[in-house]
A and B are shown apart, each in its own frame.
Chain A
Amino acid sequence: MNQEVAVIGIGMTKIGEHWETDLRDLMIEAGDLALMDANVDGEDIDAIFIGNMSAGLFIGQEHLGALAADYDALTPKPSTRIEAADASGGAAIRMGYLAIKSGEFDIVLVNGVEKMSDLPVEEVISAIGTSSDQSWERNFGATFASLWAMIARLHMHEYGTTREQMAQVIVKNHKNAVQNPLAQFRFPVTIEGVLRTGMLADPLTNLDGAAWADGAAAVVLCRADYAKKFTDTPVLISGSGQASDTIAIHDRRDITTMDAVIKASKIAYDQAKITPEDVDVAELHDSFSIAEIMAIEDLDFVPKGQGGPSVEDGLTKIGGKIPCNTSGGLKARGHPLGATGVAQVFEVVQQLRGEANGRQVDGATIGLTQSLGGTGGTAVVHIFKRR
């Protein structure tokens, strides 16, 4: 069997601090919205995949598969949680996709969720850091931010990337989020604002990194040949790739290149039979400003080392050649770890349907999502096409 797979429904909560709402309610809200958007009934769903990084640390709850099936009122449907650090959502999308492609299932619900605000902030930082090598990075004093800072420092050293270019990524993503009603930070920031705020881990400031957030996003995936029964606007998953790299950045072939992104995107481009120039809109994993600059290089939107100047020239803004992170990205839409990869798909599908009011990329027909686990040990890339 080799079924084509389409997205037929999407749903997302507001991203931010949900003091009044717990994990299960966030998850169920997003799932319900996606099912309603897809016009499917619960009994049509064959299986559920949950993207979640660390509910065990954040709220002491594992076994989210059963929790979701239970509170979605979908028992006895099979339901499994997928974990790949903050690429969990992207990896869960891919598992749902593969499950349909294999011919085993016709319709699958993929739900990404993270509830981070219940923990004191030091413990949140600690939990985020568990995606790095605990024995050989964290144990020797490296925080998650300092790992990205070391990548940024070397990128500046090797390619002449500037602090201003990195800040420009943040400025762009905040500007985009103003037009996204579900985004966490809907206000603009300036280059000076990014550079003048306190240092997080030199050379990165407190505004270079995504904050923590609560939130959930969901999509309904369906055999492409059944999709028209449910929706007039199915969006095809035309390419899907995933790859791994060393967990510790000191063991990478090249510290300033994400080999897993290169590999995963090559698989996805080949499968979709497109080149990087064909991409109209992309959601990228900007957990830190430098990550978006490296993403556009490693996805081959621009040559290696040209990420910084390209951002400065407006390549990735709305109206540029390849608008990136029209949602606001991890930085400004918000980064509820396990929800993020699914939230990226939510944005791209809105763009391809022409529903991204105020931030719509005119005539977008091909979209891409790129999701990273931690500092790049996992990469998941998907390509979407309007039917």
Chain B
Amino acid sequence: MSDRSVPLFWRKSKQMYNLIGSECITCGTRYFPGRRICPQCRKEGQMHEFKFSGKGQVVTYSVVRDAPEGYELEVPYIVAIVQLEEGPRLTTPITYCDLDEIFIGMPVEACFRKLREAGDHGIIIYGYKFRPIKGAKPN
């Protein structure tokens, strides 16, 4: 469904490749993905770009067994919500991690990988995945 337009991914590529979001100077809250409007401050808010360290921990997770389009070759795989150490949470696949190894609270870090192939034209979508910080195997 979201695979119909290549520009859709180009537009997000800076955020997706570099974990760049935003920070509100007024209240100090960080957002990923970046937002134009700070929900805390609304029109008093002032946003600027903020680069995240890519370190965080697992808040919750599941194992996907019924793949969405483009992920067929990956199943079963772990998907998790990770809280970044600077505050915001995001949804991400977890890689380099056995299905029974994952736990709530696991320290993880971002790595940049092929996410999947999109549509019939073999376009490869790159982005972040996260991996356990301890016991992470080399590439």
Contacts and interface: CB of A to CB of B under 8 A. Distances in A.
A125 interface: yes
A125 B62 contact: no
Contacts of A249: 81, 91
Interface stretch (B47-55, B67-75, B131-139): B67-75
A153 interface: yes
- Size category of the binding interface on chain A: 35 or more
Interface in B87-113: 88-93, 104
B66 A143 contact: yes
A129 B68 contact: yes
A262 B47 CA distance: 30
B1 A141 contact: no
A250 interface: yes
A256 to B, nearest CB: 9
Contact of A140 (B61, B69, B92): B92
A366 B65 CA distance: 42
Given A140-B93, A150-B61, A145 B66 contact: yes
Contact of B2 (A138, A149, A151): A138
Contacts of B68: 125-126, 129, 138, 141, 143
A206 to B, nearest CB: 9
Contacts of A315: none
B60 A153 contact: yes
Given A139-B115, A200-B66, A154 B59 contact: yes
Interface of A: 57, 122, 125-127, 129-130, 134-143, 145-147, 149-151, 153-154, 157, 198-204, 248-251, 255
Interface of B: 1-2, 8, 12, 33, 59-69, 71, 74, 77, 79-81, 88-93, 104, 115-116, 125, 127-128
